[in-house]
Amino acid sequence: MNPTVIKTAKAVRKEVQRWAYKLEDDYAITPDTLRGACGIASFLLHEALEAQGISSIFVMGRFWSRGYSNTPWADSADPLYTNHCWLVVDGMIVDITATQFDEEEPVYLTEADDDRYRPVYQNQEGVDILMSKWDDQSPKKYPNSMPRILTKALQEISQ
């Protein structure tokens, strides 16, 4: 994996966590694991990578720790059944909120065909649903904070 991707992912996660700790009364986001912030974190990471000329695919889908093989509802395209966001970069899933699923690494990497991850929407379609249907996870809910988080992360990377 490109070291710049890892460095960027760590910086974005750090700044999202720093921001989440300041929310205090926002019950929807758990700062330690970033539970409830996968949409925001993945969106910001996608933006940060794009700002550096690195291509990534924003993915909205489902995560199930046991894998999706042989589950009858695995292929449902209903946005109500989406529960997670992540990026795909160079054939690898880059998940900076997998700690909410008990992964220990703050930047979790796995093959894009990992059976626990089920993509439903990609790129602009996923972003549009994030912005319009995921109220608490929508970057649109925090219009002043998102540019600041992105700027701080990009500044950290350039140091």
Residue 16 CA from chain centroid, whole number = 11
Taking only the tens place, the pLDDT of each residue in 73-115 is 555 555 445 689 999 999 999 999 999 988 999 999 999 999 8
Whether the CB-CB separation of 88 and 59 falls below 8 Å is answered with yes
Q: What is the mean pLDDT of residues 20-26?
A: 80
Length of the chain, in residues = 159
Cα–Cα distance list, 61 to 11, 18, 21 (Å) = 24, 26, 26
pTM of this prediction? 0.90
Of the chain, the percentage scoring pLDDT greater than 90 comes to: 69
Q: In the prediction, which pLDDT does 27 show?
A: 65
* Average pLDDT of the residues in 34-43: 95
| Residue 8 tokens, joined | 């960027």
User: CA gyration radius for the chain?
Assistant: 15
Query: Residue 95 is encoded by which pair of tokens?
Result: 């998940």
